[in-house]
Amino acid sequence: MKKLRDNVYWVGTTDWAIKYFHGFGYSTHRGTTYNSYIVKDEKIALIDGVWGPFTEEWLEKIAEVVDLAEIDYVICNHAETDHSGGFATLMQKIPHAKFFVSAKGKEHVYKQHHQEWDFQVVKTGDKISLGKNELVFVETPMLHWPDNMVTYLTGENILFSNDAFGQHYASSSIFNDEVDITEVYQEAIKYYANILTPFSKLVVKKLDEIQGFNLPVEMIAPSHGIIWRDNPMQIVEKYYHWASEYAEPTAVILYDTMWDNTEKIAHAIAKGLAAAGVDYKMHHVVKSDKNDMITDVFKAKGVIVGSPTINSRYLPTTAPVLEEIRCLKFAGKLGATFGSYGWSGESPKLLQEHLTGSKFEIVQDGLGIKFTPTEEELTKCFEFGKSFGERILAEFEKK
């Protein structure tokens, strides 16, 4: 248990060991937390829960603050199992408690747990009194599930934002002013890039709507990672920035290689980017973490993808990150492709089609090199990288 305020407590759990989330869909190098909060007033409210395996530890934490039987209200901002898993056990112990949830949240929670609780469906603007202070609800559908909502505590001016503004970051501290903020931001942008990118337009709309309530915000308490206590609006400003076709004047090269020739091309292209004055990152798509690659794609204006041709296509190992790129619906990215080949050489064209299908603007024709690149061909690769880099910089000069 840790205190946010005299009457507000963190009763979450810390998962140092988890290295993958969503099955194996999201890497969590720095672990995570499942944040849950108790608000003590004339009524006692519990906000958000934990993943099932952490239920016993969570119940012990709650018991440090209140007797379970004293909990009047349970607030479920989001039904995904990392937050609702523990409710199945908790609600059997406190069947008297009213369970506040969005309409979609009720459906999602019920279909996961198949238990009848005292569901109280709330919508944007609904309030409940705790005595001295109130809880105000704002629905945030598709950020990132249809059921999501956030809860605001008046008087203490705390926004319980659930997944929004969160980070998969385990720590012995719970506030942003007590941790290495560089690490926190790395996890926050990774979360945004990998989860929220497709919903960026909605993010802006919803942030505007929440700001429109003119509620003072002294703390933002998400459901993962640290609580934004020092200058909480800094993460809101970052979300506005990230949601607005965020891009740095940099490039990422994603490639796989069979006999090093495509890798040689990649390095020659990289030298060209550097000559243009553009910083870049390179990822061998098999050896790099998929979510880290996506984070770098999110940050960079330009993405160059390379693969040798095999069986008249590109290497299948290139496909997972390409699929992820397509699903995340990036906007405003520039793209180019390359690859070595032995006889037919379809790969750059097919990779280009994939990037076009992902709404990338292809700024130069794909580059194919037959077998081992000669010095003359490496110069061509260098020029390919240089012209791509110059195009990136030109985009920023336009602004």
Q: Which residues are catalytic?
A: 22, 78, 80, 82, 144, 163, 191, 224
Measured CA to CA, the distance from residue 167 to residue 14 in angstroms comes to 12
**Span near ligand FEO by CB under 6 A; candidates 77-85, 98-106, 135-143, 335-343:** 77-85
Shortest distance in whole angstroms from residue 89 CB to ligand FEO: 19
- The footprint of ligand FEO on residues 91-120 (CB under 6 A) is none
Residue 80 binds to ligand FEO (criterion: CB under 6 A): yes
Which DSSP category does 316 fall into?
A: G
Taking residues 16 to 45 in sequence order and writing x for each that binds ligand FEO by CB under 6 A, - otherwise, the string is ------------------------------
Single residue of 30, 43, 61, 78 touching ligand FEO by CB under 6 A = 78
Shortest distance in whole angstroms from residue 51 CB to ligand FEO: 9
Shortest distance in whole angstroms from residue 203 CB to ligand FEO: 15
**Span near ligand FEO by CB under 6 A; candidates 79-87, 213-221, 348-356, 371-379:** 79-87
Contacts with 255 (C-beta within 8 Å, 6 or more apart), sequence order:
262, 263, 266, 282, 283, 284, 285, 305, 306, 307, 318, 338
Task: Report how far Cα 337 is from the mean position of its chain's Cα atoms.
Answer: 27
CB atoms within 10 A of CB 142: 14
Shortest distance in whole angstroms from residue 169 CB to ligand FEO: 13
Shortest distance in whole angstroms from residue 25 CB to ligand FEO: 12
- The footprint of ligand FEO on residues 248-307 (CB under 6 A) is none
Measured CA to CA, the distance from residue 204 to residue 197 in angstroms comes to 11
- Nearer to ligand FEO by C-beta: 223 or 352? 223
- The footprint of ligand FEO on residues 122-161 (CB under 6 A) is 144-145
- The footprint of ligand FEO on residues 217-246 (CB under 6 A) is 223-224
Phi, psi of 118 (to 5 degrees): -80, 75
- Nearer to ligand FEO by C-beta: 82 or 256? 82
Q: Computed from CA positions of residues 183, 189, 190, 192, in that sequence, does the dihedral angle turn out positive or negative?
A: positive
- The footprint of ligand FEO on residues 161-180 (CB under 6 A) is 163
Q: Computed from CA positions of residues 268, 273, 277, 280, in that sequence, does the dihedral angle turn out positive or negative?
A: negative
CB atoms within 10 A of CB 365: 12
Do 20 and 27 form a contact (C-beta atoms < 8 A)? yes
C-alpha distances (whole Å) from 171 to each of 8, 342, 362 are 19, 51, 42
Q: Rule CB under 6 A: which residues touch ligand FEO?
A: 78, 80, 82-83, 144-145, 163, 223-224
